[in-house]
Amino acid sequence: MDLKEYLNKQKKLVDKYIDQYLPVGVPKKLFDAMAYSVKAGGKRLRPILVIESVKSINTLMDIKLFIDIVVAVEFIHTYSLIHDDLPAMDDDDLRRGKPTCHKVFGEAIAILAGDGLQSYAFELISQNKSIKSDRLIKIINSLAHGTGIFGMVAGQSADILSEKENSFNDVEFIHKHKTAKFIQSCCYIGGLIADGTEEQLEALKNYGLYIGLAFQIQDDILDEIGDEKKLGKRTHKDREKNKLTYPSIYGLEKSKKLAKEYVEKAINEIKVLNNSKILEKIAKFIIEREV
């Protein structure tokens, strides 16, 4: 089985459990908005990274012991996309080839759907009964740090400041915080779930950071030269909005080189792990992908 087949198989597994963990007992329109956004498609890369990071240390661990955490990661990712698409942020009409949440349900419900997915994700994680409590606290802390004011929220803020006020000019800070820190958390919490050693946890943290940076650089490249039909969204938006990106600073060829260097660093980090083959393939796939 090649990597694309394998990732598709893992995506279907994650999708199955997403259906099982969608919340019940909430107002119908709010539920519909949450479900619409979560089930709109996507690679499920972040939850798959949690699973594969677990497997890189412990191949025998039953996924049912931590699938709620895997699903929670995708809920957090979806919340960030809903808010990212809003008129006050990136003002996007399409996401994965479908109308964005606020276009279908209105801005107020879209905001609340994002809020709901984020808080429900942490509720799910806190209710896990299989992971040691000290590790569970570290998992919650890592996700909050990676997606909050020291991670994704900080990066998104810096991105907006660079675009709308021209008051921020550190592209590495934006990429590291907006994208890489969340991906880093996904890999790290996989190590925590598997009860990894400090050396293994550090390796996964570094791997996650490097592939996260490569991932965002590739996103920037695809915005410049990608196929709109494959991407499911409009291209050249970054240039139109004068966004701070690697291609805008370094050009396409240098950006491709930097992304490749980050992937090489990521692969080098995980040599200490018991079973790193899939993580190695994912790292390479990140800069080969067309979507």
Q: Output DSSP code: residue 274.
A: S
Q: Spell out the domains of the chain, with CATH numbers in brackets.
A: 3-286 (1.10.600.10)
Which position has the token pair 């979560």?
38
Tokens of 247: 């291609």
What's the CA gap between 191 and 135, in Å, rounded? 10
Confidence at residue 230, expressed as pLDDT on a 0 to 100 scale: 64
Q: Output DSSP code: residue 127.
A: T
What's the CA gap between 221 and 256, in Å, rounded? 8
List Cβ neighbours of 17 (8 Å cut-off, separation of 6 or more). Answer: 67, 70, 71
Strands (E), the chain: 94-95, 98-99
Q: What angle do CA 92, 95, 101 make, to 5 degrees?
A: 75
Asked if 205 contacts 280 with a C-beta cutoff of 8 angstroms, the reply is no
Asked if 38 contacts 92 with a C-beta cutoff of 8 angstroms, the reply is no
Q: Give residue-wise pLDDT tens across range 89-112.
A: 989 999 988 999 999 999 999 999
Confidence at residue 180, expressed as pLDDT on a 0 to 100 scale: 98
Which position has the token pair 């949690």?
50
Rounded to a whole number of angstroms, the CA Rg of the chain reads: 18
Confidence at residue 231, expressed as pLDDT on a 0 to 100 scale: 61
Confidence at residue 234, expressed as pLDDT on a 0 to 100 scale: 63
What's the CA gap between 42 and 81, in Å, rounded? 11
Tokens of 66: 């931590």
Q: At what angle do helices 67-84 and 181-193 cross, to 10 degrees?
A: 170
What's the CA gap between 152 and 167, in Å, rounded? 18
Confidence at residue 291, expressed as pLDDT on a 0 to 100 scale: 77
Q: Give residue-wise pLDDT tens across range 22-77.
A: 999 999 999 999 999 999 989 999 999 999 999 999 999 999 999 999 999 999 99
What's the CA gap between 261 and 47, in Å, rounded? 24
What's the CA gap between 119 and 37, in Å, rounded? 16
Per-residue pLDDT band at 163 (split at 50, 70, 90) = confident
Mean local confidence (pLDDT), 116-144: 97
In this structure, the dihedral spanned by the alpha carbons of residues 235, 98, 72 and 271, taken in order and rounded to 10 degrees, is -40
What are the residues facing 99 on neighbouring strands?
94
What is the reported pTM? 0.94
Tokens of 97: 């080839």
What's the CA gap between 184 and 180, in Å, rounded? 6
